[in-house]
């Protein structure tokens, strides 16, 4: 597997600093799980951030910070998190499996014509996360973007007028791009898509039903 499309520097730096919102972080984490090159870049960014922190003068916290921490620990829920069993051969990377509650064979999809989707619940109200499954050889409707969209290919591949994207690749799109992704013929293309604004479909009919589809 050769990954040709990698994370932009702004995503890596914000992820390393812990300032990236949950939706974008999910896309970055899934790409990192599949891309050794970007994991190396992340380690470098974290090392640079650590070196900068060492040069900062210490700042005293609130006088009651220790008492506040003890109170939070005492009130923390003792209910253990439900484990997500890793299949012998996982298709989806972590942390995506934990968000979905399992791997690909346990998922329930919603039909969208040539594609299917699963909306992914996060605690981030600034982005929308969804898992998409585009039928082999089929296109999704032509669209542009009302904001930023990160698309991480998990299995299969797709192409548009700009380039082609295979497993592990990430496409970083904005309002300047109008395209019609088409899954390659050999298998369905499953990808994670994160957006911070609704898509802008060229089809008037799709624009009318868009609120019902949650796209």
3-state secondary structure 144-156: EECCCEEEEEEEC
197 or 86, which is more confident? 197
Cα distance between the two ends of the chain: 30
Q: Are 97 and 154 in contact (CB under 8 A)?
A: no
Q: Are 179 and 160 in contact (CB under 8 A)?
A: yes
Instruction: Report whether pLDDT(172) > 80.
Output: yes
pLDDT at residue 62, as a whole number: 81
Q: Which CATH superfamily is domain 1-56+94-215 in?
A: Jelly Rolls (2.60.120.10)
Separation between Cα atoms, residue 61 and residue 51, nearest integer Å: 21
Average pLDDT, integer, range 142-159: 96
Instruction: Return mean pLDDT, the chain.
Output: 89
Report the share of the chain in percent with pLDDT over 90.
68
Instruction: Report whether pLDDT(39) > 60.
Output: yes
Phi-psi region of 117 (alpha: psi -120 to 50; beta: other; left: phi over 0): beta
> Computed over its alpha carbons, how large is the radius of gyration of the chain?
20
Of the CA atoms within 13 Å of residue 199, those in its CB half-sphere come to: 29
pLDDT at residue 88, as a whole number: 57
Instruction: Report whether pLDDT(58) > 80.
Output: no
pLDDT at residue 83, as a whole number: 56
pLDDT at residue 82, as a whole number: 58
What Cα–Cα distance (Å) separates residue 86 from each residue in 89, 93, 104, 124, 190?
A: 8, 10, 11, 25, 19
């Amino acid at each position: 597997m050769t990954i040709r499309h990698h994370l932009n520097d702004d995503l890596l730096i914000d992820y390393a600093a812990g300032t990236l919102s949950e939706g974008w972080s999910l896309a970055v984490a899934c790409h990192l799980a599949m891309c050794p090159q970007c994991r190396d870049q992340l380690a470098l960014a974290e090392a640079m951030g650590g070196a900068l922190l060492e040069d900062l003068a210490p700042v005293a916290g609130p006088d009651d910070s220790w008492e506040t921490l003890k109170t939070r620990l005492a009130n923390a829920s003792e209910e253990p998190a439900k484990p997500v069993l890793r299949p012998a051969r996982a298709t989806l990377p972590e942390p995506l499996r934990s968000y979905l509650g399992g791997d690909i064979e346990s998922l329930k999809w919603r039909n969208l014509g040539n594609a299917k989707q699963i909306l992914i619940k996060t605690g981030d109200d600034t982005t929308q996360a969804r898992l998409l499954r585009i039928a082999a050889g089929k296109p999704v409707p032509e669209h542009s973007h009302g904001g930023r969209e990160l698309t991480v290919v998990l299995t299969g591949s797709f192409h548009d007028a700009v380039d082609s994207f295979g497993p592990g690749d990430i496409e970083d799109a904005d309002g300047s791009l109008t395209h019609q992704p088409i899954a390659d013929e050999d298998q369905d293309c499953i990808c994670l898509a994160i957006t911070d604004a609704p898509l802008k479909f060229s089809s008037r009919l799709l624009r009318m039903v868009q609120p019902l589809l949650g796209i």
